[in-house]
Amino acid sequence: MSFEMSKRSLFAATALLAVTLAVPSAHAQSRAETLRYVTGATVNTLDPNIPGSTREAFALSMSSYDRLVSFGRKQLNGKWVFDLDTITGELAESYSVSADGLKITFKLRSDAKFQDGSPVTAEDVKWSLDRCVTAPILGKAQLLTGSLTSADQFKVIDPLTIEVTLPKPDKLALPNLATVYPIIINSKLAKAHATAEDPWALNWTKENAAGSGAYIVETFKPGEQVIAKRNDAWNRGTPDKPAAFKRLIIQSVPEPATRANLVERGDADLVIDLQASDVQSLEGKGKLKVISTPQYNAVTFISMNNTIPPFDNVNVRRAIAYALPYDDMFKAALFSRGAPLYGATWADGKPPSGGYPIPQPIKLDLEKAKAYLKDAGMPDGFSTTFSFNVGQAATAEPMAALVKESLGKIGIKVDIQKLPDAQMSTAINEKKLPFFIEGIVAWLPSTDYFYRNFYTGKQRWNYSSTDNAELEKIAQEARFEADKAKYEEEGKALNAIHFDQMFQIPIWQAAQDAVMQPTVDGYVYQFTRQVDYRNLSRK
Amino acid sequence: MGTIGATLLRAGRRFVSSLPALFGVLVFTFLLMRVLPGDPAVFFASGPNAGKEEIEVIRRQLGLDKPLPNQLVIYLTDVARGNLGRSMMTGQAVAKDLKERLPASLELTLTALLIALVSAVPLGVIAALRPGSLVDHGVRLFCSLGVCVPTFVSGLLLIYVFYYLFGLAPDPTGRIDIFASLPPQRTGFLIIDFLLAGDVEGWWAAARQLMLPAVTMALFVIAPLARITRASMLVSLGSDFVRTARSVGLSWWRIVVTYALRNAILPVITIAGIVFSTMLGANVLVEKVFSWPGVASYALDALLVSDYAPVQGFVLLMATIFVIVNLLVDVLYGIADPRATVA
């Protein structure tokens, strides 16, 4: 207590001194060492595992907590993106996978300390991973995809060694440990705040960070701002030194036009959620740095529920696919910022790659669309509703208008339905929408993962309600396929089924437009589709 | 003394009689939120892998698995204890969120109302003194412009001119410059807290931050206030007692301000009360444009994601404020026109 008090009064004295001595140049100095990031969203919890966590909360947790391992980075068309295939140690100094692929052994860094100064031990790692697969939190469903389901799989060998056992060799086990959820928590601190009803201290971690990460949260005001200072003892970055910015401000600014003004005036350093039209004009002025990366782990669809007539008829789905005004939509909604998934040419009609998603050989062709409608027995068309959510209105509204116009030409009458976000997710979950715009994202974007999660089962993410036995069988086999060439063949087979059945229509991967001051350096497009503040520095 | 006592008694009676209405609001909002088609559990279980199980967990946490009457009873007992529930969106208790955000909204709305009154009443009076003149038309034009330009347009325009083009205003992001430190919290009103802390520089920073949003809101409500002042002044200026005052040669100021305006002010107070309550709930656009951490933008965000507790808390808060403002208007009536207490 007395120590705490003295620390606090010391801090107050320093603060007072700093205020009295503050001169403009000192302020400018600290401004240069501060990263001010503005966003339309908000951080709502300090523990990314809490159900309802926002993407901004995920991004913050990447900096406030460490994980055992992290993804490397690679260049894709000249831009830095995360690299699923390079997994480097974060809290783990090294790791080894046994020859049969059933055991992963992690050796922890001996110098790693939590933000309160206590060392990171294998016990903390075990408690944190146990929590992730046992507590009713978001991490449970994620780690399941890497065959990590039970606390028995994590074994402490010695204070700096932990062993993970797998029921079968699963190539997604290791990458899963680099995702947002399996944070390593200071278990002594968390246990001190656990209660009988809340054995994993979820209520406490929601508002308190107890990690070893690069930034220490100082102020947390949900809906307004988070301010964090650098953890000078942190050395888990690639170059073995602390993060570059001394201070980090994450501020919620709901109005996109205001965010654009802020970054243009130089008051904000970085923003990733501007409207496409603003990005276009800022890029044209040439004063700011704009890095546009197609979100290569995300896809935007025009989706159809394959169980609701008339979309249960494959020829209706094909007719729609050839009646969409792809180019116009791409220009009107995204100002052509992104990677199109239409207009490809497949030699001899076969998919050229086993990746997902790949551009499909479809384009606007009303004659073909009419022919398919005729095959479907509906030459005069039909009526349907087309839905999108309010949160997506900036891009979806012009798309919907164009879809309505174009489908009208082949006799399909479309009613546009704009739904509040919660209503839209409820309707999709209950499989009530026939025809709508939606998007998906995968943190671990591999072909089988996409097909297993977004084209099977009765859960929400199977937008098209696809139920295709052959697709499911191949996707399940591909999951544990060790042979790369075979995996590629399986991917091609899945893509061929997808194109033939046209369950839903992948239209594009929108670009993530990061707009920043020219002095900001090191931006990497991350799997979270958010900024990893640890990457950034000022030139 | 007697008039004040009578006024207070009347106010007390009015307050008690408004309690059933508050209860009705409580139950109605509760039912309304549940009738809306959005399911908060589905929305908040939206991690990349959230499935049926996660949705069920959230539903249980929120108590949505229980039958509706049970939920209502639990909610009413909690509200009686002062617990408004927990927001899924911010992860905080709704009462705490509202307590933190209400001063921000009140500070903004009161300042805007003050600016509006200070400019609308003289404008109305000037227009009434010379009806049909160029001045009158000028005021009419100004009022029409103010009311027909939506607040988010005038807000963005003001930001563009004063922040973006000339750099006169601070960046429009909330109540205080993000690099400045906050005063010790006493009232929650920043411009009062800064004064109490004796921090003049901080006070100036907060006041500058407040200016643009307050003016944006004021522009929108100047019209009703100025128009009602003008109409009421016209009646009052044409009445017998003003003619008498004129004939006995009282000064211009005494005639216009002491006799005519005081008699004309009652409808202005009524409108001001209504305008204030409306502004507090409806200033969501201004709050959004200026990233103002107020209650209205909080409620709108909650509504979009079907987060029940904050919306219900917000409506209850607004209803309570409406009742209080009406009481206040009653009391002001008594002061402005002693005859009102007799009724």
Residue A167 CB coordination number (10 Å): 11
Cβ contacts of B304 on chain A, cutoff 8 Å: 390-391, 420-422
Q: Which residue of B has its CA nearest to A226?
A: B178
8 Å CB contact of A258 and B291:
yes
User: A530: which 2 tokens?
Assistant: 């958010």
Predicted local confidence at residue A104, as pLDDT: 95
Rounded to an integer, what distance in angstroms lies between the CA atom of residue B220 and that of residue B145? Answer: 9
Of B42, B172, B291, which has the smallest distance from its Cβ to A252's Cβ? B291
At A344, phi and psi to the nearest 5?
Answer: -85, 165
Select from A198, A221, A262, A423 the residue whose CB has the most chain B CBs within 10 Å, as the one to mutate to test that interface. Answer: A423
Of B53, B58, B306, which has the smallest distance from its Cβ to A422's Cβ? B306
Instruction: Considering only CA atoms, give the Rg of chain B.
Output: 24
Of B54, B97, B304, which has the smallest distance from its Cβ to A390's Cβ? B304
- Say yes or no: B291 contacts chain A, CB-CB below 8 A: yes
Contact A514, A531 (CB under 8 A): yes
**Which regions of chain A are under pLDDT 70?**
1-29, 238-240
> Side-chain half-sphere of B121: how many Cα atoms within 13 Å?
18
SS3 (DSSP) at A184: coil
- Say yes or no: B179 contacts chain A, CB-CB below 8 A: yes
Residue type, A443: W
Reduced DSSP (H G I as helix, E B as strand, rest coil) percent helix, strand, coil of chain B, to 5: 75, 0, 25
Instruction: Give A419's strand partners.
Output: A389
Per-residue pLDDT of chain B (343 residues; tens, 9 = 90+): 466 777 778 778 888 888 888 899 889 888 888 887 777 777 777 655 566 777 787 788 778 888 888 888 888 888 888 888 888 878 788 999 899 899 999 999 999 999 999 999 999 999 998 888 899 999 999 988 888 888 888 999 999 999 989 888 888 888 888 877 778 888 888 888 888 888 888 899 899 999 999 999 999 889 889 999 999 999 998 889 888 988 998 888 888 888 888 888 888 888 888 888 888 877 888 998 898 989 988 888 888 777 888 999 999 998 888 888 888 888 787 777 777 654 4
Predicted local confidence at residue A379, as pLDDT: 92
8 Å CB contact of B36 and A51:
no
Chain A residues 315-374 within an 8 A CB cutoff of chain B: none
Predicted local confidence at residue A128, as pLDDT: 96
8 Å CB contact of A422 and B91:
no
Instruction: Tell me how many degrees the CA angle A195-A199-A204 measures, rounded to the nearest 5.
Output: 65
Predicted local confidence at residue B46, as pLDDT: 63
Q: A425-435 pLDDT, tens per residue?
A: 888 888 999 99
Question: How many inter-chain contacts (A to B, CB under 8 Å) are there?
Answer: 150
Predicted local confidence at residue A29, as pLDDT: 57
Residue B253 CB coordination number (10 Å): 8
8 Å CB contact of B178 and A50:
no
Q: How far is A200 from chain B (nearest CA, A)?
A: 15
Spell A221-231 as b/e; 16+ CB within 10 A means b.
Answer: bbbbbbbbebb
- Say yes or no: A12 contacts chain B, CB-CB below 8 A: no
| Residue showing tokens 């004040």 | B4
DSSP for residue A525: B
Q: Which residue of B has its CA nearest to A16?
A: B181
Q: Which residue of A has its CA nearest to B52?
A: A459
Residue B181 CB coordination number (10 Å): 11
Rounded to an integer, what distance in angstroms lies between the CA atom of residue B146 and that of residue A523? Answer: 44
Predicted local confidence at residue A460, as pLDDT: 83
- Say yes or no: A421 contacts chain B, CB-CB below 8 A: yes
For A35, A260, B168, B287, the CA distances from A253, given in Å and listed in that order, are 15, 10, 20, 10
Of A138, A264, A422, which has the smallest distance from its Cβ to B47's Cβ? A138
Instruction: Considering only CA atoms, give the Rg of chain A.
Output: 25
Residue type, B212: L
- Say yes or no: A459 contacts chain B, CB-CB below 8 A: yes
> Side-chain half-sphere of A398: how many Cα atoms within 13 Å?
15
Predicted local confidence at residue B2, as pLDDT: 62
Query: Hey, what long-range contacts does A207-211 have (CB within 8 A, 24 or more apart)?
Result: A207/A45, A207/A46, A207/B91, A208/A46, A209/A46, A209/A47, A209/A64, A209/A65, A209/A115, A210/A114, A210/A115, A210/A116, A210/A185, A210/A186, A211/A64, A211/A65, A211/A66, A211/A114, A211/A115, A211/A183, A211/A184, A211/A185, A211/A186
Cβ contacts of A257 on chain B, cutoff 8 Å: 156, 159
Complete DSSP assignment for A322-384: HHS-HHHHHHHHHTT-EEE-SS---GGGS-S-S-SS---S----HHHHHHHHHHTT-TT--EE
Predicted local confidence at residue B63, as pLDDT: 81
User: A226: which 2 tokens?
Assistant: 């988070």
Predicted local confidence at residue A3, as pLDDT: 41
Predicted local confidence at residue B181, as pLDDT: 76
Q: Which residue of A has its CA nearest to B170?
A: A267
Chain B residues 79-118 within an 8 A CB cutoff of chain A: 88-92, 97
Q: How far is A127 from chain B (nearest CA, A)?
A: 21
Check residue B249 and give left, alpha or beta (phi > 0: left; psi -120 to 50: alpha): left
Contact A63, A535 (CB under 8 A): no
- C-alpha dihedral, A212 to A210 to A69 to B57, nearest 10°: -170
Q: How far is B297 from chain A (nearest CA, A)?
A: 9
